[in-house]
Amino acid sequence: MNANLDVVPMQEWIKTDGKPLIIAGPCSAETEEQVLETANRIKAEGYAHIMRAGVWKPRTRPGSFEGMGEPALKWLVEAKKQTGLPLAIEVATPEHIELALKYGVDVLWIGARTTVNPFNVQDLADALKGVDIPVLVKNPVNPDLALWVGAFERLQGSGIKKLGAIHRGFSNAQEVKYRNSPMWQMAVEMKRLFPQLPIIGDPSHMAGKRSLLMELSQRILDLNYDGMIIETHRDPDAAWSDASQQLTPEALGTMLRELEVRQANYGAEFTDELAAMRAKIDNIDRELMEVLAARMAIVEKLGEYKRDNNVAVLQLDRWKQVHADRAKQASGLGLYPEFVEELFKLVHLESIRKQTEVMSATVA
């Protein structure tokens, strides 16, 4: 993917003293009392750099709570006055942007349901022309990296340079553990393409339930993300939206103190040992590719045999057997079966492609 982003470093628009950025606050601003109490309890814990709250809530179906709108902005302004915490809210229309700027909101974010629609993102980008404000973009609902990158390019085209990505996970019909599959490789690839772009993890929307927040937050820190946005409510069980994934300000403080922040830099001795282990990995990777090439050579011969005997490419019983056997073998080798299943899905797809190519070729 050919793309380039000119991004202002995060530390130039928010000071975190070298610590991961923490954005905390309720999923939704419900009442003035709820906003102010939550804000002051977050401030008392001392971990937050920015307070978040949902002012407009895009819901899947009409009739559910869709946010308090402009009145909530007045409550947030008072919360900022009392705590000194900058404010972050989600915007989905140019009118939202106009009101957010009117009330002095400090950071905007674009939600997953908006990122998925380039027309909506362009409308927001157009509304932001000439405005100097940080804008964070959540990944689209489905795992489409180009769509995510495209949102940043549209904002960049309007002159926005204070940018950051929020990784909140992806919709996946096969997911059983998390509300949204993390699909970590998507965020890692985004970081590879744009190393200067801050990546902020959203464990709340990945998890869907508070019992999983600790493990996801630690994984986020282990991958050296630049920060986290975590939903925090004075009384989570009574929340008007996303009750099961929110924490009290105090519970979030306890969790954050228990998390391990890994070192980003290391000494010469560690570097030498790291280089030696990476060299071994490089050799093994080369051997893996040689094995894959040998497998595909056999697949090609298999395709020729099927073509000559007029046999269909896809043999479903054989694929079911491979799928089950490889996962079982993975367990015996100390590998995660889920990882091996996904790996062999890719291998099988390439095998199908190769055999189809052979089938389509004209026999000399």
Cα distance between residue 62 and residue 80, in whole Å? 31
- Closest C-alpha to 106, from 152, 59, 167, 53: 53
Question: Residue 185: what residue type?
Answer: Q
- Look-up of token digits 């000071």: 15
Average pLDDT over residues 317-323: 84
- Please check whether residue 171 is in contact with residue 180, taking contact to mean a CB–CB distance below 8 angstroms: yes
Residue 228 carries which DSSP code? E
Closest CA to 131 of 153, 151, 102: 102
Model pTM? 0.81
At the second CATH level, the architecture of 268-361 is Up-down Bundle (1.20)
Contact 164, 134 (CB under 8 A): yes
Confidence of residue 2 (pLDDT cuts 50, 70, 90): low
The per-residue pLDDT for range 270-304, each reduced to its tens digit, is 777 888 888 889 889 989 999 999 999 999 998 89
pLDDT in tens, 147-198: 999 999 999 999 999 999 999 999 987 788 999 999 999 999 999 999 999 9
**Which pLDDT does position 364 carry in this prediction?**
52
- Residue-wise pLDDT for 57-76, tens only, equals 876 777 778 789 999 999 99
Name the pLDDT band for 266 (thresholds 50, 70, 90): low
Q: Rounded CA gap, 315 and 303, in Å? A: 12
Residue 267 is predicted with a pLDDT of 65
Q: Which of 76, 72, 96 is nearest to 87 (CA)?
A: 76
The residue ranking higher by pLDDT, 254 or 262, is 254
Mean pLDDT value of segment 209-231: 96
CATH 3.20.20.70 domain position(s) in the chain: 10-258
Q: CB 310: neighbour CB atoms within 10 A?
A: 7
Buried b / exposed e over 2-30, threshold 16 CB at 10 Å, is: eeeeebbebeebbeeeeebbbbbbbbbbb
Q: How far is CA 347 from the centre of its chain?
A: 26
Helix (H, G, I), strand (E, B) or coil at 254: helix
Q: Using CA atoms, how far apart are residues 166 and 139, in angstroms rounded to an integer? A: 6
Contact 100/89 with Cβ under 8 angstroms?
A: yes
CATH 1.20.59.10 location in the chain: 268-361
Tell me the mean pLDDT in the region 16-26: 96
- Return the pLDDT at 55: 96
Q: Which CATH class is domain 10-258?
A: alpha beta
